[in-house]
Amino acid sequence: MVNTENAVDQLTAILEEILRSIPLVRALEATRSKTASARAELDLQLDLTLHDGTRPRIIVEFKTSGQPRSLREAVRQLVSYRDNSDSTAYPVVAAP
């Protein structure tokens, strides 16, 4: 069984490393959700600042299983967040 807290920590570190290696990315700020609920809370939000000044946002929902049911739930959560909070964010689902 996957420890969700450790998995999200590892995911955050990997994504930060990948994004920081992109020359276009000037700055990166990662924010983790403090609550674990069925509401439209995100596991991870990455705010980028690019060299041209644009500020894209990546929202990530992590699931401990790659089963279709879990992935559908993750997509539902990301869509709900985008519909209610930030329609310009780029959604990402992560699973082992």
Q: What is the largest CA-CA distance in the chain?
A: 43
What is the predicted pLDDT for the residue at 57?
Answer: 93
pLDDT, average across residues 85-93: 88
What is the predicted pLDDT for the residue at 34?
Answer: 56
Strands 25-32 and 90-94: unpaired
What is the predicted pLDDT for the residue at 2?
Answer: 60
5 falls in which pLDDT band (50, 70, 90)?
Answer: confident
Least confident of 7-11, 34-38, 79-83: 34-38
Phi, psi of 63 (to 5 degrees): -125, 140
